[in-house]
Structures are given as C-alpha cells and as structure tokens.
Amino acid sequence: MTVQMAVVPVAGRGTRLLPLAKSQPKEMLPVGRKPVVQYVVEELARCGVSRLLFVTGPGKTAIENHFDIDAELIAHLRETGKEELLEELAFERADIEYFYTRQRRQLGLGHAVLCAKAVVGREPFVVALGDSMIGLHAQSRVVRVMIDQFEETGADAVVALEEVPLEDVVRYGIAVPRDGAAEVFELADLIEKPAMGEVPSTLAVAARYVFSPRIFDCLARTAPGKNGEIQLTDAIRMLIQQGRKVLGVRLSAEQRRFDIGNFQSYFEAFVDFALADPQCGRALREHLREWLAATEEAPPCS
Ligand code: UTP
C-alpha cells in the first residue's frame, strides 16, 4: 500500500512575522490568490495523499475553517447568481480526509511531528511544512518522487534538498552526501547550520520529508536543543547513526522552495506568485516596470 498520510505542522508562533502573524496564522497569509496552506494541501493531493493531519496550536482555527465545506457561502453564491465563483471553492471538495491534533506547547518542529504519533500509528507518512510551498503555484510533484523512492529503496527517510548560495548554508540543515550528490543520493549525515569553514555541501533540507514510523522512536529519544526545541534534523541524524537508509532528493530549478517564514521570503513569494497570475500578472509586471523606472532616480525609501 502506498504512502497516503501527510502530517502538516502549523502550530509555530511565527515570531519572525510579527506583527503580521500575531492574531492570524502565518500559514493563512495570502500568496497571490490563495493562503499558503491551501497550496500545500493541493500539492499533497496531486501527489496522492488522501489523509491529512494538521498539527495545530493556539490561534490557528482559521486553518480548520478554511478547509470546511461552507454550505452557507455556497448557497449565497447560488442565490445571488455568482455561480462562476463556486469554482474558487472547489478545493473544499478535494478527495482528502482531514484530521487535527494539537501541539500544546511549541517545542519545535520535531516535537510537532511527535505530536502526530498517536494518529499516524505504524504507517509511513509525509511531512510537509505548512509555511512552505514547492514550485511556482505549488505545481511540484517532488513529494510523489520522494514517496516512490521511499517505497522502492526501503529507506527510513527521504528528505527534499534545495541548492542554496554558499553564504546561506549557515541558516539551514545541510546534507552530507555518502558518495557524491546525484539527483537522488544517500546521506552520510545532516549538519544543522554548519560553520563557514566546514561546509559539506550547499544542499539544504527543504520542507518536505517521507518517514517510516521509526522516526517517532528517534524523536522520543531526541534531547531538546537550542531554545528547548526538539529538532527534526537531530532525529534524522539518529536514524543515520543507527545505520538506517536516509535519502536526499534534489529539487530542480522549477521546484524552487517558497518559504514565507520571514518578511524577505514572504514578499518575494508574493511577488513571484502574483507576477505569474494568469489574469493579473501581465499588468502587474507593467506596473512594476513603470514604478521601478520612475523611482530609480528618487527611491521612495531613502
Ligand atoms: P518555523 O521553523 O518557521 O518556526 O516553522 P515558527 O515557530 O513557526 O516561526 P518563528 O521562528 O517563530 O518565526 C516551520 C513550520 O513548522 C511549524 C510552523 O507552524 C511552520 O509551519 N512548527 C514550528 C510547529 O508546528 N511547531 C513548532 O513548535 C514549531
């Protein structure tokens, strides 16, 4: 039986996006026409996921509401002759069963995944971060490739990896390839935020994972690290140290990761998605071109 379950952690506080994310979940922020988490769910549905568990936390009920079927709104659109807008709600009817559990204390991504254990049980599962999209308008099918690799190779973990500029490696979990880094390769280690002098590669862990349930045993034994948080990277390292197979799958250029965790990357994601919008993209491009030309001589922020 193929992997059908995905865990989407959305319980983080999003402090890097204050005040924007103070009273609304960062995963519900708009990027172009949709909230981020809707792109994540649509991507997973296209990759064959049929059961989806959100790990939620305080102030995140807007996410649950967003994926409910809103019968009142549907009736209103029909009664007011706006049938053409019903298509915008088609995602409500995706062939996915939703489950929700709570992370009662925000003790890091690893802890959020561990909170999924009782619901996931002993089956393999995908983890997709709720604040990161893969590919423009989330068109990526890399999770399908990762599931196929997981099933064909008997690995205990498959991790998506993105090429990052050398000066940025200090911000990420970085892969150490066992025998060179092909499209798909085995990891000898993962180093969290390596120092500049000891960079093993420029391939950073990129928001999508497939795990066997063995990851839960590793997470349960992982000691809290910086800020008292349980790091998912540490648990993956433990799998490698136990001699388990952990694979990396490189994202291609079209499968670029858009993470909205800080303002710089959020603004960039919004602009990229809006510029690629089929209806408004062309006009926006023109507007930006004119605006940039006009402000080149007198920058508005100076
Ligand atoms: P981040 O690593 O960006 O952490 O989360 P954060 O706490 O949300 O944000 P900052 O650092 O305070 O700005 C990556 C993903 O993991 C989830 C987040 O909701 C986000 O989708 N997460 C993170 C949890 O579910 N629980 C946690 O304890 C931490």
Residue 242 has φ and ψ, to the nearest 5°, of: -80, 0
Give the position, in ligand 1's atom list, of the atom nearest the Cα of 57. Answer: 25
pLDDT at 1: 67
Other Cβ atoms less than 10 A from the Cβ of 48: the count is 16
Q: Where are the domains of the chain?
A: 5-297
Integer CA distances (angstroms), 86 to 70, 78, 81, in order: 11, 8, 10
What pLDDT, on a 0 to 100 scale, did the predictor assign at position 204?
97
- pTM equals 0.96
Nearest CA to ligand 1 atom 15: 129
pLDDT value at residue 127: 98
Q: What is the DSSP letter of 60?
A: -
Cβ–ligand 1 contact at 265 (below 6 Å): no
Whether ligand 1 lies within 6 angstroms of the CB of 130 is answered as: yes
> How far does the centroid of ligand 1 lie from the alpha carbon of residue 122, in Å?
25
Q: What is the pLDDT of residue 302?
A: 55
Q: What is the CA radius of gyration of the chain?
A: 20
Does ligand 1 have an atom closer than 6 angstroms to the CB of 110?
no
CATH fourth-level superfamily of 5-297: Spore Coat Polysaccharide Biosynthesis Protein SpsA; Chain A (3.90.550.10)
Tell me the average confidence (pLDDT) per consecutive run of 10 residues in the chain, 302 residues long.
94 97 97 98 97 97 96 96 95 94 97 98 98 95 97 98 95 93 95 89 97 98 91 97 98 94 97 97 98 82 60
Contacts of 38 (CB under 8 A, 6+ apart): 66, 91
